[in-house]
Structure 1
Amino acid sequence: MKKVLLILLLSSYAYCTISLRNADRDVRLVYEELLKNYNKNLRPDYLGDSVNVLVDGTILSFGKVDPTNMKYTVDMYFRQRWNDYRLRHNLTEKLTIISGSDYPSSIIWTPDTFFLNSVSSIFHHVTVNNHKIDIYPNGFIFWGT
């Protein structure tokens, strides 16, 4: 009886391991296929309407405030969302890209968002860049920093 249970346990472990490997392979193949003929230098629907980019931010803290020079520092989360029909895929879940040391614009088209009247703006770096890109099956992009 113990041998039967051991065999069942090992076979179910092997099945799960193979399933995970297949899932990883499927995601990698979809990612490669998405970017194969993708031109990151062209905005989505470049011959049509402009791209509607939704932006939101969460202020984490205010730093030094200099009322004389009208300057202040802010730490914040900054997120952008838009749709890029060229990145539609057939996965059942979102495809998440952690860009590591690469800036997202080296992978996909990204909006040229800026802060008006900003003295300087920087992306926070700890050990790697803080960029995560979620690509939903319908081509909806969520980029958070």
Structure 2
Amino acid sequence: MKVAVFAGSFDPFTFAHQDLVERGLQLFDKIIIAVGVNPSKRGIMAFDDRVSSIALLFAGNEKIEVQQFQGLTVDFCRRVGASYILRGLRNTNDFEFENAIAQNNLLLAADIETYFLMARSGLGHISSTIVRDILTNGGDTTELVPKEILQFISL
């Protein structure tokens, strides 16, 4: 069974994230969305709400699990039996950053491979950072964030 981990802080989980997971199901038998805490990012959603909202979004899909994690992604992959890491790329800046992480992950765990998917046309502009800025300034994010996630956000 091909199991992949899609890890991130997901604050909030966007339509771009959802698209990557759904497209990833064409490559993997199971995807574990691993919600981690990134202390360098200022969040707007409670950690438990991130997990609950993403689980609600994918409720009923047996091929998708949502779990909490801390520490190295490769260590989490080993704990859950995943041989793959799924990551999304919006642009060349993402590639430079994600490539460096993937290369270091290979040094830490040569048996865990990273797969990159390019953002689908029309979704590459979406980032959680921008969405947080729009939300904190009272803007409308209904075209950026699924309603299952938005119901957990209160500012």
TM-score (norm: length of structure 2): 0.18
Higher strand content, 1 or 2: 1
Which of the two has greater helix per residue? Answer: 2
Larger-Rg structure: 1
TM-score w.r.t. length of structure 1: 0.19
